[in-house]
Amino acid sequence: MQRRRILVTGGAGFLGSHLCERLVARGDDVLCVDNFYTGTKDNIAHLLGTPRFELIRHDVTFPLYVEVDEIYNLACPASPIHYQYDPVQTTKTSVHGAINMLGLAKRTGARILQASTSEVYGDPTVHPQTEDYRGNVNPIGPRACYDEGKRCAETLFFDYYRQHQVRIRVARIFNTYGPRMHPNDGRVVSNFIVQALSGKPITIYGDGRQTRSFCYVDDLVDGLIRLMDADDAVTGPLNLGNPGEFTIRELAEKVLAMVGSTSGMVQLPLPEDDPLQRRPDIGKAEKLLGWGPTVPLDQGLARTIDYFRTLKSQPAIGAGG
Ligand code: NAD
Ligand code: UDP
């Protein structure tokens, strides 16, 4: 098979770095584009010496002229703390970024995959969430810059598909965790592990009865690659995530037990518009991609805890939360 030239935007981030690694290992030429807003060169440092890997510092809100066969569009801060820090830039990244990458796909004839999100369902009134559910998003709340930006990006993808026959794929990614999450990124899994390892109390927002479904990064990256490699008729949107559903308190108890920490928990206010429940229906991805998660939460958490233990033994890493 011919060696593919693959662009990964947001390639120096958590998911992007794992994706770049997998594509390089498969033998593809990978062009990683990132403005290092939340990602770091450390995440991809081990790939920099590889002739098949190239890195460009670039902001996707500006046009990019390269020749590629496939585009994975992952550029966008994903943690609520980060995407709410500069909400206007967050929407620009999703919307202008999508327009620029879709324009590139249109010119080059490349296939293009959008990293969309379970946040398009907002605080869902249908449970578990199926792809045909249209969501319950507050368009003027603090999460809207991310949720509505991602919804608009989906709209653009389907309009470029209908209007210009661009070969699109849309993945709706549910909470994913694993090594290379930033220790201060504020998301629940990294916060809890870093807090437990530092002997600090675990910060539970609200009563901790809200639920999430946690997918290990390797499973998620496998799903993204299968979706890109599927027939052009499989546009999605497809939910990708692990249907195991846990309350945030259950997650905290698990992390404390696995780390062997007695630091306990502290309750803080629930952030505005924080969804109360979330679990993917992955029937479509199972049927169309033959995909499903294989790493149970305990196993994925153990690997992630090992990663943060190693990080902690290095200097200059603070505690999250
Ligand atoms: P991340 O913050 O680690 O990675 C995002 C990357 O995008 C970073 O490297 C960042 O520097 C880069 N970036 C941000 N704005 C940019 C811009 N304007 N131009 C170029 N690069 C830019 O987050 P992640 O968890 O790896 O998420 C990757 C993608 O997957 C995001 O689009 C996110 O919305 C989506 N997603 C992730 C999850 C999850 O649980 N991890 C869930 C749903 C959707
Ligand atoms: N959360 C928490 N403590 C933390 C960080 C997050 O209780 O230190 C909760 C948060 O309120 C939400 C859930 O964990 O209900 C998942 O939060 P995260 O920011 O990881 O992702 P979200 O799914 O909300 O985008």
CA 313, distance to chain mean position in Å, is 26
pLDDT band at 114 (very low <50, low <70, confident <90, very high): very high
205-242 residues labelled b (16+ CB within 10 A) or e (exposed): beebebbbbbbbbbbbbbbbbbbbebeeebbbbbbbbb
pLDDT band at 258 (very low <50, low <70, confident <90, very high): very high
Contact yes or no for 90/98 (Cβ under 8 A): no
pLDDT band at 3 (very low <50, low <70, confident <90, very high): confident
What type of residue is 131? Answer: E
Contact yes or no for 68/91 (Cβ under 8 A): no
Ligand having the closest approach to the CA of 174? 1
Residue 203 CB burial class (10 angstroms; 0-12, 13-18, ≥19): middle
pLDDT at residue 319 in the model: 34
pLDDT digits over 119-160, tens only?
999 999 999 999 999 999 999 999 999 999 999 999 999 999
CB-ligand 2 contact for 54 (6 Å cutoff):
no
113: helix, strand or coil:
strand
pLDDT digits over 164-190, tens only?
999 999 999 999 999 999 999 899 999
Q: Rounded to whole angstroms, what are the CA distances from 71 to 22, 36, 161?
A: 15, 18, 15
CB-ligand 2 contact for 271 (6 Å cutoff):
yes
Q: Quote the CA–CA distance of 226 and 288 in Å, as a whole number.
A: 10
Report the chain's mean pLDDT, rounded to a whole number.
Answer: 95
Q: Rounded to whole angstroms, what are the CA distances from 34 to 66, 132, 203?
A: 14, 32, 31
Q: Is 184 left (phi over 0), alpha (psi -120 to 50) or beta?
A: alpha
Looking at ligand 2, which residue's alpha carbon is closest to its atom 17?
188
Q: What one-character-per-residue DSSP string does 162-203 give?
A: HHH--EEEEEEE--EE-TT--TTS--HHHHHHHHHHTTPPEE
Task: Write phi, then psi, for 58 (nearest 5 degrees).
Answer: -160, 145
The pick from 37, 56, 215 for probing ligand 1's pocket by mutation, whose C-beta has the most ligand atoms within 8 angstroms, reads 37
pLDDT band at 316 (very low <50, low <70, confident <90, very high): very low
pLDDT band at 313 (very low <50, low <70, confident <90, very high): confident
**Domains, the chain, ordered by start:** 5-176+216-240 (3.40.50.720), 181-212+244-278+295-319 (3.90.25.10)
148-183 residues labelled b (16+ CB within 10 A) or e (exposed): bbbbebbebbbebbeeeebbbbbbbbbbbbbbbbbb
Contact yes or no for 211/277 (Cβ under 8 A): yes
Percent of the chain with pLDDT over 90: 95
pLDDT digits over 48-72, tens only?
999 999 999 999 999 999 999 999 9
240: helix, strand or coil:
strand
pLDDT at residue 162 in the model: 98
Which of 72, 83, 121, 146 is catalytic? The answer is 146
Is-catalytic flag, 160?
Answer: no
